[in-house]
Amino acid sequence: MKTKYRNRLIEISAFILIVVVFIQIIIISIDLYNKNYNLNQMKKTNNFSNAISEVLHRTQQERGAGAGYLGKPSKEFKKLYLKKIELTDKAIHRFMIASRNYSKIPIQNVKIYINNLERMRKEVLNNEISLEKEINFYSKMNKSLLDSMGKVVLLANNAQIVRSFSSYVNFERAKERVGIERAVLSGTFSEDKWNKPLYVLYVNLLSEQKLLFKLSIELTNKEIKNKFDGLKNSKIFKEVKKIEQIALNKDKNFRINALNFYNLITTKINMLNQVVLEMSELNNKIIENLQHSLWIKFLFQLIIGILLVVFLFYTLFLFHKEQKKLFSKSIKDKLTNLYNREFLTEISPIIKARIDRTKSKLALFFMDLDGFKYINDTYGHEVGDIVLVEVSNRVKKIFRENDIIMRLGGDEFLIFVEYVKYDNLKIIANKIIKEISKPIILDNNIRVKVDVSIGIAIYPDNADSIEELIKKADEAMYFSKRSGKGIVTFYD
């Protein structure tokens, strides 16, 4: 029974382990779904940031053109300003469509400035606003756009994405400072003299640009760092740098064409915008790489999980097979291959339950060989074993497959037969006596002969349990033995 409980415990443990593995696979799948969903959301966020970036780029151009026009109204700056307005409106249109499809980043403040943009444009075209106020309006509008973009970093839950997006946003902030510089200097060069507040703003802008570019580049990858270093050494950047120094060192009479400067610094800003686009692509690439790594990790864990489940099932199958084999050996008599006493312990409650359920009857044949001790003592145990095997084979031929034949030990046998008619039981018993009493011819032509005494008891007529039934059949068998050889007795 201990072995049975131990085996049952092993099976339950293996089953629990399989369930645990399945649960783990489900947890991993849910985790993958959530992480992949978050990464897809970050990809959408990055695409929305691109829409913000485009509006920023266009409003920066519009602000610069407007500042140049306010500094010194001319047909060239007016034409340029109207063209930039058209480009800004297209960018805003795309941005508004994108905002309807993506609501994770709040843009209420941006909408307020967009609603007031038309009024600002009229004031610029009618020269009804100061250069300082024009720059201030666009700068505040762009700050609201940058604030919305900055919230992208808060949505990220991966260190690599946070780093990349932080670099992206800081670069946009630095580029915005360059955009303000364009507006300040375009207006100043148009007027050909400094406005003191604008000069202070300009000095701060140069300092902020340097700091924000440094923060951004420190967080990005090597390729973009090299790209930015190349831009700093380009002819355009050097020319802008030269003009910045002139603006720093003079109060007026700069002798710089405002429109030419506008076009020069716009080229610089467009070059910076290419870096912004590459940063955006880098963001998407990082997200895609993370998704790819996520799927590889999931597939690896899934394969390991499946292999573990297969291994556990296969091990359980082998365990069952081995236990079945061991159980078969443990319940079979090694000599005759008949069921043994251990099997009797296992099968007794099952037999009783079936008979009680079907309300039928069970006959038990208790057999003991007569003359077997003489053969053992005369010819030895080897011949005795041959006799027992031959007797077993003869008995097997008499009974049906569903009848249970057992060797209790020595020369005692039990046979359970589902009840048939009384006369048939007697016929079967006489047939056993006849078959067993036939001589057994050994290899050296020696003939040996045994007889059999049989006791038969009926369940539930003669007993209330299988144990009691065996006892009653045993009593009947001993009565046969005392009465002579080759006799069958029914318990009464």
Residue range 88-98, pLDDT digits in tens: 999 999 999 98
Strand partners, 332: 339
Domain ends where: 301, 327, 350?
Answer: 301
Q: In a 10 Å sphere around its CB, with 0-12 CB exposed, 13-18 middle and 19+ buried, how is residue 156 labelled?
A: buried
In a domain, 253, yes or no: yes
- 278 shares its domain with 368: no
Residue 333: predicted pLDDT: 87
Residue range 227-285, pLDDT digits in tens: 999 999 999 999 999 999 999 998 889 989 999 999 999 999 999 999 999 999 999 99
Of the pLDDT bands very low, low, confident and very high (cuts 50, 70, 90), residue 329 is low
What CATH number does the domain containing 430 carry?
3.30.70.270
In a domain, 482, yes or no: yes
In a domain, 228, yes or no: yes
Is pLDDT of 124 > 90? yes
> DSSP string of 129-145?
S-HHHHHHHHHHHHHHH
Residue 72: predicted pLDDT: 84
Strand partners, 447: 441
Residue 4: predicted pLDDT: 61
Asked whether the beta carbons of 164 and 286 are under 8 A apart, the reply is yes
Asked whether the bond before 73 is cis by omega within 30 degrees of 0, the reply is no
Is pLDDT of 119 > 60? yes
What does each C-alpha distance from 475 to 338, 352, 417, 420 come to in angstroms?
23, 20, 18, 21
Task: Name the pTM for this structure.
Answer: 0.66
Asked which of 111-120, 321-330, 346-355 is least confident by mean pLDDT, the reply is: 321-330
Q: Return the residue matching tokens 């403040």.
A: 109
* Sign, CA torsion 268/258/67/125: negative
Mean pLDDT of the 209-236 span? 94
Instruction: Please choose, from the candidates 372, 379, 447, 437, the residue with its C-alpha nearest in 3D space to the C-alpha of residue 410.
Output: 372
Domain ends where: 301, 330, 365?
Answer: 301
- 297 shares its domain with 347: no
Asked which of 10-24, 36-50, 461-475 is least confident by mean pLDDT, the reply is: 10-24
Instruction: Name the token pair of 14.
Output: 């293996």
In a domain, 59, yes or no: yes
- How would you label 67-93 residue by residue, b for 16+ Cβ within 10 Å and e otherwise? bbbbbbeeeebbebbeebbeebbebbe
Asked whether the beta carbons of 54 and 95 are under 8 A apart, the reply is yes
Q: How far apart are CA 364 and CA 366, in angstroms?
A: 6
- 165 shares its domain with 74: yes
Asked which of 132-136, 221-225, 279-283, 302-306 is least confident by mean pLDDT, the reply is: 302-306
Neighbours of 125 (CB within 10 A): 17
- The pairs formed by 90-94 with CB atoms below 8 angstroms and a separation of 24 or more are 90/58, 91/51, 91/54, 91/55, 91/57, 91/58, 92/55, 92/58, 92/117, 94/51, 94/54
**In whole numbers, what is the pLDDT of the chain averaged over residues?**
89
Strand ranges in 372-470 using DSSP code E only, listed in sequence order: 404-409, 412-418, 440-441, 447-448, 451-459
- 43 shares its domain with 113: yes
Domain around 357: 341-490
Q: Return the residue matching tokens 């006892």.
A: 471
Asked which of 44-48, 101-105, 197-201 is least confident by mean pLDDT, the reply is: 101-105
- 65 shares its domain with 214: yes
Asked whether the beta carbons of 485 and 476 are under 8 A apart, the reply is no
Is pLDDT of 328 > 80? no
- 352 shares its domain with 294: no
- 291 shares its domain with 423: no
Pick the most confident of 60-74, 264-278, 280-294: 264-278
* Sign, CA torsion 352/354/356/358: negative
Q: Return the residue matching tokens 């007027």.
A: 191
At 454, the amino acid letter reads I
**Percentage helix, strand, coil for the chain under 3-state DSSP, each rounded to 5:** 75, 10, 15
Q: Return the residue matching tokens 């069970």.
A: 362
In a domain, 134, yes or no: yes
- 69 shares its domain with 164: yes
At 455, the amino acid letter reads G
Give the N- to C-terminal CA distance of the chain in Å, as an integer.
Answer: 35
Residue 105: predicted pLDDT: 79
Mean pLDDT of the 297-307 span? 84
Q: How far apart are CA 406 and CA 414, in angstroms?
A: 5
Q: How many domains does the chain have?
A: 2
Instruction: Name the token pair of 137.
Output: 């309006």
- 218 shares its domain with 113: yes
Is pLDDT of 330 > 80? no
Q: Return the residue matching tokens 């864990």.
A: 301
In a domain, 323, yes or no: no
Domain ends where: 249, 278, 301?
Answer: 301
Instruction: Please choose, from the candidates 265, 127, 252, the residue with its C-alpha nearest in 3D space to the C-alpha of residue 188.
Output: 252
What does each C-alpha distance from 403 to 335, 348, 357, 452, 486 come to in angstroms?
20, 13, 18, 19, 22
Asked which of 21-25, 51-55, 147-151 is least confident by mean pLDDT, the reply is: 21-25
In a domain, 306, yes or no: no
- 163 shares its domain with 25: yes
Is pLDDT of 342 > 90? no
- 43 shares its domain with 177: yes
- 8 shares its domain with 142: yes
In a domain, 327, yes or no: no
Asked whether the beta carbons of 328 and 441 are under 8 A apart, the reply is no
